Amino acid sequence: MAREFKLPDVGEGVAEGEIVSWLVSEGDTVSEDQPVAEVETDKAVVEVPSPVNGTVRTLHYDAGDVVPVGDVIVTFDVEGEAAEATDESAGEEATEEPEAAAESATEQASTRTFAPPSVRRLARELDVDLDSVEGTGPSGRVTEGDVRAAAEGHATEPQEEPPDEVRSAVEPVGEQAAEHTEAETPAVESATEPAGRETTLAAPATRGLAKELGVNIHDVPAVEERDGEAFVTAEAVQEYAEGGTAAQGEATAAAPESEREFVEGGETTQPYRGVRRSIGEQMAESKYTAPHVTHHDTAVIDDLVETRTKLKERAAEQDVKLTYLPFVMKAVVSGLQEYPILNSELREDEEEIALKHEYNVGVAVATDHGLMVPVVKHVDQKSILDIAAEVNELAAKARDRSISRSEMQGGTFTITNFGAVGGEYATPIINYPETAILGLGGIDERPVAEDGEVRAAQTLPLSLSIDHRVIDGAEAARFTNHVMERLTDPELLLLE
């Protein structure tokens, strides 16, 4: 019989989701709990599992469509079940069953092996049973390396790694292995001649790359066949696109100067929805609700640089990448304990200011899909290494879009490190309804005047934005001085 599967509520309070990619095609046989689609909400990308064993009859939406929660997205043919009932009560039962199945399947998916979508895609491409892989990442998380190691364990033929320059040219950091398998490296024949197929197999990210480059994926020459269908890799798409560009360039170069024509630039549009729209709405609410004032200062951190250098190797022995951020977070929490008004929330309707007794620090992370803010809870109760490990894990999950809603909630103060990209000072926008945010500039040698002499010192520029309805400028300055004192003399953090 036919079973309709409706888009479940894939996140708390989510009203709609965008079909990022289909992981199955019409006519495919699927098993219960097998991922059938990747759906993007305003917070993350999640995989939607099948609620039944059966065959895909109809995909009701195309990739890129925005679907309201509760709309039918897939119809399955399920063998061995009774024919569809025609009376009204049977119709109601048929409508309710997929919803219950969706909830059950979603719960099962949440208790499966802990791995982000990119790793799950890689496991499918390498034909690896993810549940049989032992994760070596934080909290037992399965990494791309774990999947590749499992694949190599039963490989029957030698495989070659794609060249580094090809990886960096076509794939975002953190999702490289998800876009192609190690065996997908044969040379592409007739790269500039369109193949003109009707159907093509490719990873979702490969289809995304083709769309970005303006390439019809059905025209890209295949590198191999899978299940009797042509299979195209990201490298093949890139080579096909570059081949067309090169050919166009040669033709232009050969034309006489007098016959050259200039093409109007035009424009390219992209959707303003999902995570990007959520970020925009949050920033607008903060900027136009809270009057922002930004206090700038610079900390001399020669001793902190030396301390971090000493501890970096020991941290690496415990598989922890130690940056300056955990030290800053501990210094910030010390400042919040001394000046609690910066760890607050203004509740206008209740006409009260709530001073938070928890110290949950949000860390702004730049991703390919916009800025996301994972939250490290109870920073005051954790060591520098504990904080470093948690920050690294949350940042990785934010970038591969596997982070949960709860891991981005509950923050009381936020830190944004724009200096990692470049720059000294900025005016960070408060993560409303918090009342303050600290921006970190780039650490670098700068001239410092001490005892009548100028010397080169390692410095860290600080930009503290406050909600001036709640926090006075003097309090902001004292808080910044407190933080700077602990960054200048990191041994003071041992007393916290």
Three-class secondary structure assignment of the chain: CEEEEECCCCCCCCCEEEEEEECCCCCCEECCCCEEEEEECCCCEEEEECCCCEEEEEECCCCCCEEECCCEEEEEECCCCCCCCCCHHHHHHHHHHHHHHHHHHHHHHHCCCCCCHHHHHHHHHCCCCHHHCCCCCHHHCCCHHHHHHHHHHCCCCCCCCCCHHHHHHHCCCCCHHHHCCCCCCCCCCCCCCCCCCCCCECCHHHHHHHHHHCCCHHHCCCCEEECCEEECCHHHHHHHHHHHHHHHHHHHHHCCHHHCCCCCCCCCCCCCCHHHHHHHHHHHHHHHHCCEEEEEEEEECHHHHHHHHHHHHHHHHCCCCCCCHHHHHHHHHHHHHHCHHHCEEEECCCCEEEECCCCCEEECEEECCEEECCEECCHHHCCHHHHHHHHHHHHHHHHCCCCCCHHHCCCCEEEECHHHCCCCCCCCCCCCCECEEEEECCCEEEEEEECCEEEEEEEEEEEEEEECCCCCHHHHHHHHHHHHHHHHCHHHHHHC
> Is 468 an annotated catalytic residue?
yes
Question: Which residue among 60, 218, 369, 468 is the active-site one?
Answer: 468
Show which residues are catalytic. 468
